Structures are given as structure tokens and as C-alpha cells.
Amino acid sequence: MKPVISAYIFIFLLSLPALGQQRGCSQGKGSDRAELPGGYVAQVAPAVDDAHASQCHATITSDTAKTVFELFEREAAINPISGKDVNGDGTPDAVIETHPPAGQCCWNYYVFTLGSSPALLRQFSTSVALNFEDKLGDGKVEIWTRDFAFDGVDNFPHSESPAPLIFFRMHGTTVNNVSQLFWPEYEREIDETRSYISKDDIDTLTKIEGDNPKPPEEGDPKEAHLLSVRAQILTLVLDYIYADRTPEAFKTISEMWPILDRQRIRQLILQRHGRGILSEINRIPKLPASVTVGAPAATTASQ
């Protein structure tokens, strides 16, 4: 199986909890409850009022049973990271997430800090599912996924479009890219991808003259193969870039990409790099009307 294809299978598997709703509520069915530090309780359950029929009701309540956060949505869940310190400030947090219908946007994640001053720290609204996990086992929580910014680029089919890994950490209310800490993850993918690219393929591509890549003609297996090889090479390049090893990325372009097309592909990479998950993770969306928080949280969320 080609690595770019397995990457998309990975994305699908990553999204299964959201789709299957094993730990949440979907269209007014299912429930979950988590007791959190400080006496807080997170809960998702079917909405009971007529105004929210067939919807889910998610709440966070304090040790005095005061509701400090609630929302109504088609699908909602308590993220398993809840109870851990997500933003590195020493205080435990809860993450409530909502999921879109299949094929629609967007996943929403509400990071809510617990303790003496409960507040909504950040809301993320993204086109792909996010994963909250302490991947390094050092007590610091990463927010990670695969970037969709290069889906369909250069006429690549969806199944072969590069989807590089990307890792973030919250510090207070800000979000920082920490992908450079995960070089072994990228290195494994790079090694696997290189195994699918032959010297003959590289020789053929580097001899091609032209700067206007076109989709292969229908029924031309040679051109279709070369398009697939381009996708694999771009996967290599992006793994280097997302791992903060840009010189190695551009070296790969110089060694493998068609000569007259190298400047164009560099510019295209730079244009797309800032789109996709990078732009979405840094945007603070408007709080939906279906979400209610206490006064301190509302003030924080609107900044």
C-alpha cells in the first residue's frame, strides 16, 4: 500500500470515534459522563426540551452543581483528554467536542479550564478531526492531525494527495506549532515513501522539461504512474518542511523534481503551507448561539 493512501486510511481511523459516537451522543441518542478534578462533572446526553429535539446536550457543572458551560448540538462528546492539563498552566481542563454530519464542516472543540476560575480558554473549529494526546509521555498535551492543505494539488487524486502530520501545543490561550519535536514520526514516513520511488522514476522526472503539470491522459498508464511518483515526492518534501527541515525539503526538490518546474512547486508549497489546518487552528471563531458559558468564559472567548 502506498504511504499517501495509508495516510488517508489513518485519517479515517482517527475520525472513527467522532463517527461512531462510542463515547458521546448523536442525534439525541447516547450519553457519557466524566467526573473531573475539583468536583467538576462533564456530561453529554439527549436534550429533553422540545426546542432541541433530536439534539444532544453537553454540560460542565461545578462542585456546587452550577452549570459553567453548556451546548446543544447534533453530535457531542467528552474528549478523553478531559481532566488533564491541556494548556500547560498547571490547572486541569475539559474538552467538549461536537461533530458535523458526514461530508460537512466542521469539528468544534471547546477547551475549558477548571479550578477556582472556570473559563473557556479556546474554541477550535476545523475541517478535519483533531486528536488531543500526550504523545511523548512527558505530561504535555499535543493537539495533532494531518493537514489537508495539499488535497488535490497539482491534479493529484484525493487518495494520493499529501497529508502531512502536524503537531501543536497550547500555552495559556495561544497555540504553538511543535512539529519539530516529532522528527521520528516524519522520518518513518519518509523512509517508507522513499521505498516506493525508483531511480528510473527519478531519472525520468528530472529529464522532463516544462512547468505546467497536466493530469494524465485517460488510459495512459505511464503518465498516471509519473503523476503518482510526483505525489510521493511531494509527500517527502512536505514531511521535511513540516518537521522544520526546509533545507532538506528543497534539496529533495532539486534532486527529484522536473528541472523547469522546481521554482513553481516551491512557490506553490509556500502558498498552501499557511492554509488548511494552520489557518484554522489559529483562528478564534465566533461562539455559536447554541453555546452558553459563565461571564468569565464569555469574556475570554470573545477576545
Give per-residue pLDDT as tens, 59-91: 999 999 999 999 999 999 999 999 999 999 999
CATH class of 19-132+285-301: mainly beta
Q: How far is CA 133 from CA 8, 33, 81, 283, in A?
A: 20, 20, 7, 21
What pLDDT score does 211 carry? Answer: 60
Mean pLDDT, range 83-101, rounded to an integer = 96
| Residue boundaries of the structural domains of the chain | 19-132+285-301, 184-275
pLDDT at residue 17 is higher than 70: no
Q: Which three cell numbers stand for residue 42?
A: 462533564
Q: Which of 123-127, 137-141, 177-181, 298-302 is predicted with the least confidence, judged by mean pLDDT?
A: 298-302
For the entire predicted model, the pTM comes to 0.87
Burial class of residue 74 in the structure, from the number of CB atoms within 10 Å of its CB (0-12 exposed, 13-18 middle, 19+ buried) = middle
Give per-residue pLDDT as tens, 243-274: 999 999 999 999 999 999 999 999 999 999 98
